[in-house]
């Protein structure tokens, strides 16, 4: 039996196991059956198969492009190595993004553009550069190790690809000139197709591998691979912040006792290193791997702050959300694209903020006016406050967490395309303009394979003092679908009587009503009564605890692998 095990072992690898799973679920071109004895009571039956390119491409929306791409990764033009499939599709997407950026930079020369569209076109260039950066990270990650490594890095790959899709959407949304918008849409057509294909293939392969995780664990002693040495997480790789270590667990608590020593201090009165927050941010070394701490003393700072992509691992804290605040008034009506209206923008990965306020004081009449825009991956906000009217908090991309915060606004005031959990927060609905309705959320999830959405967990939804007296006259809703596959979940939260019985509002007719995923789970309060909720195909009242667990901090944003090291308290699962 030992000799038989050895013979079989030589012919099977962890890469083949991935192909096995694909074949079992989606069909095979050919198969043989072998049985492996393992040193336990269990036996694992493995079908050694090869997956056809054509069958694998069935999960994609753009099948011809998929077959063309994957054929280059196939040695016989018929069968496909799962890892090479993922690498090939991401590389193809990278090329398409690069071409789109070249076209974007050449646009506008033949068309007279107003200032807003000039800015929006500039935003497109920046967004596409962000997308190229995400894809570079994805390529570097997917090329390492074998197919088992792809599975371990699945969440990160899907995170990067989802972000790339969002950049394409945001670019087009910002353009109002019909000719320019049409040209940009056409220019991005191929990059959108390839990005969606890459995400679909990555998701399907990793999903199937994940279903066999138990089998892989049982055979790990038979397989000699890099995965045993590398471990599950990527937190020690160069791309991720070094502050995610056990030594930093008490970071936030240390700020309360004054024991933490900031790298720089910001003070309006000149008693610190800098008088403005942006000056302090500019002093952060680029791509710094260690944590950089900025303490902002009490005061209202009238400036627009950007923590750029190269400013990593910044921890910023103030003296309280009402004492230390950043205030601005850029807005859409006065000619600034929504993307640029943010008073504070956090882009560099690993950003943590505590005890600060973010305001946009443009007012309801100025429509879109963002207080805080967050693009930073694995970012967290604790004891912070965001105040504006329309589009207050722009949870733009990547994995984000908000705890013990106050968020106020009117129309779509929590919106974006990220994977975000907002937990233990006070959500205040304000009085809008006449003839307006309030919508707490607007999810921008635009593709079915994106691991994104807005989760409101253990929060309170209440009216402010101006809305409260007229809350029965002014209609307020939990959200509306900004994009085709909008996903929003309210769970274990207390919802006030300001929310309409139907709960949710259409965006435009029947747009997205069949493809969205809106759900509620064990909420309380008068506004949480689901008996008269909308009857859309995409709306759900979750009754299965296992389904609700998919949207918790641990599952939805993999928070147990990064939030726990920041010192921020959090509920990893459900309260009850």
- Name the pLDDT band for 477 (thresholds 50, 70, 90): very high
Which strand ranges, in their side-by-side order, compose the sheet holding 494-495?
299-302, 324-328, 357-360, 385-387, 406-409, 426-429, 460-463, 494-495
What's the whole-number mean pLDDT along residues 251-271? Answer: 81
pLDDT above 50 for 44: no
The per-residue pLDDT for 256 is: 61
- Name the pLDDT band for 30 (thresholds 50, 70, 90): very low
Residue 126 to residue 122: CA distance in whole angstroms: 6
Residue 482 to residue 476: CA distance in whole angstroms: 16
The per-residue pLDDT for 110 is: 57
The per-residue pLDDT for 54 is: 75
Residue 158 to residue 137: CA distance in whole angstroms: 11
Q: Which has more confidence, 406 or 153?
A: 406
The per-residue pLDDT for 288 is: 78
The per-residue pLDDT for 7 is: 34
391 is annotated as an active-site residue: no
Residue 130 to residue 146: CA distance in whole angstroms: 27
What's the whole-number mean pLDDT along residues 194-205? Answer: 92
Please pick, among 137, 148, 412, 451, the residue that the annotation labels catalytic: 412
pLDDT above 70 for 38: no
What's the whole-number mean pLDDT along residues 24-51? Answer: 33
pLDDT above 60 for 20: no
Cβ-proximal residues to 510 (8 Å cutoff; 6+ apart), any chain: none
Residue 469 to residue 473: CA distance in whole angstroms: 9
List, for residues 102-120, the tens digit of each pLDDT value: 999 998 775 688 999 999 9
| Phi then psi dihedrals of residue 220, to 5 deg | -60, -30
According to DSSP H, which parts of 107-212 are helical?
115-143, 147-152, 154-173, 178-187, 189-211
Mean pLDDT of the chain: 84
**Strands (DSSP E) along 272-342, which ranges?**
292-296, 299-302, 305-307, 314-317, 324-328
Domains for the chain: give ranges and CATH numbers.
50-214 (1.20.140.40), 246-565 (2.160.20.10)
- pTM for the whole structure: 0.86
Cβ-proximal residues to 119 (8 Å cutoff; 6+ apart), any chain: 336, 337, 340
Residue 347 to residue 329: CA distance in whole angstroms: 20
List, for residues 387-434, the tens digit of each pLDDT value: 999 999 999 999 999 999 999 999 999 999 999 999 999 999 999 999
List, for residues 218-244, the tens digit of each pLDDT value: 444 333 333 333 333 333 333 444 444
The per-residue pLDDT for 252 is: 60
The per-residue pLDDT for 143 is: 84
- Residue 458, Cβ neighbours under 10 Å: how many? 18
- Hey, which of 9-23, 25-39, 466-480 has the most confident mean pLDDT? 466-480
Residue 265 to residue 281: CA distance in whole angstroms: 11
Scored b (16 or more CB within 10 A) or e, 513-531 reads bebbbbbbbbbebebbeee
Q: Which of 73-87, 109-123, 154-168 has the lowest mean pLDDT?
A: 73-87
The answer to whether the Cα torsion of 375, 376, 381, 384 is positive or negative is negative
List, for residues 525-566, the tens digit of each pLDDT value: 999 999 999 999 999 999 999 999 999 999 999 998 888 777
What's the whole-number mean pLDDT along residues 249-273? Answer: 80
The per-residue pLDDT for 80 is: 64
Cβ-proximal residues to 182 (8 Å cutoff; 6+ apart), any chain: none
pLDDT above 70 for 208: no
- Name the pLDDT band for 215 (thresholds 50, 70, 90): very low
């Amino acid at each position: 039996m030992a000799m038989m095990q050895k013979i079989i072992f030589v012919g099977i690898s962890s890469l083949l196991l991935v192909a096995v799973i694909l074949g079992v679920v989606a069909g095979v071109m050919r198969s043989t059956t072998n049985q492996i004895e393992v040193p336990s009571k269990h036996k694992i039956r493995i079908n050694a198969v090869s997956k056809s390119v054509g069958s694998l491409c069935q999960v994609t929306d753009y099948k011809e492009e998929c077959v063309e791409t994957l054929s280059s990764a196939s040695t016989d033009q018929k069968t496909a190595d799962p890892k090479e499939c993922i690498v090939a599709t991401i590389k193809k997407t990278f090329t398409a993004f690069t071409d789109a950026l070249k076209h974007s930079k050449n646009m506008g020369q033949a068309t007279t553009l107003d200032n807003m569209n000039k800015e929006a076109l500039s935003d497109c260039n920046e967004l596409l550069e962000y997308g190229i950066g995400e894809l570079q990270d994805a390529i570097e990650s997917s090329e390492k190790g074998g197919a088992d490594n792809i599975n371990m890095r699945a969440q990160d790959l899907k995170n990067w690809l989802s972000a790339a899709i969002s950049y394409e959407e945001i670019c087009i949304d910002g353009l109002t000139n019909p000719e320019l918008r049409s040209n940009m849409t056409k220019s991005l057509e191929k990059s959108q197709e390839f990005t969606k294909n890459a995400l679909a293939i990555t998701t399907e392969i990793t999903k199937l591998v994940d279903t066999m995780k138990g089998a892989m664990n049982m055979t790990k002693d038979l397989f000699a691979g890099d995965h045993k040495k590398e471990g599950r997480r990527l937190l020690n790789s160069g791309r991720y912040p070094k502050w995610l270590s056990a030594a930093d667990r008490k970071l936030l608590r240390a700020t309360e006792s004054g024991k933490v020593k900031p790298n720089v201090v910001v003070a309006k009165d000149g008693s610190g290193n800098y008088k403005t927050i942006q000056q302090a941010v500019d002093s952060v070394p680029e791509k710094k791997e260690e944590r950089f701490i900025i303490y902002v003393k009490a005061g209202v700072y009238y400036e627009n702050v950007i923590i750029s992509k190269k400013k990593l691992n910044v921890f910023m804290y103030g003296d309280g959300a009402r004492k230390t605040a950043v205030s601005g008034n850029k807005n859409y009506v006065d000619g600034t694209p929504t993307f640029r209206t943010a008073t504070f923008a956090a882009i560099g990965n690993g950003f943590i903020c505590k005890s600060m306020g973010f305001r946009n004081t443009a007012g309801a009449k100025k429509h879109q006016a963002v207080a805080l825009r967050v693009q930073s991956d694995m970012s967290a906000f604790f004891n912070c406050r965001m105040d504006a009217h329309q589009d207050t908090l722009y949870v733009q991309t990547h994995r984000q967490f908000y705890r013990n915060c106050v968020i106020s606004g009117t129309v779509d005031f929590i919106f974006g395309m990220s994977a975000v959990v907002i937990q233990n927060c006070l959500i205040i609905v304000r009085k809008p303009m006449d003839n307006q309705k309030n919508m707490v959320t607007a999810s921008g999830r635009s593709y079915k394979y994106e691991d994104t959405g807005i989760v409101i967990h253990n929060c309170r939804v209440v009216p402010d003092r101006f809305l409260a007296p007229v809350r029965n006259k002014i209609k307020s809703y939990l959200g509306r679908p900004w994009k085709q596959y909008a996903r929003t979940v309210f769970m274990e939260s207390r919802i006030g009587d300001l929310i309409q019985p139907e709960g949710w509002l259409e965006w435009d007719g029947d747009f997205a009503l069949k493809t969205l995923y809106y759900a509620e789970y064990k909420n309380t309060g008068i506004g949480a009564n689901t008996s008269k909720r909308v009857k859309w195909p995409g709306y759900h009242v979750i009754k299965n605890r296992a389904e609700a667990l998919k949207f918790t901090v641990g599952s939805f944003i993999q928070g147990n692998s990064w939030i726990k090291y920041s010192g921020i308290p959090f509920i990893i699962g459900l309260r009850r």
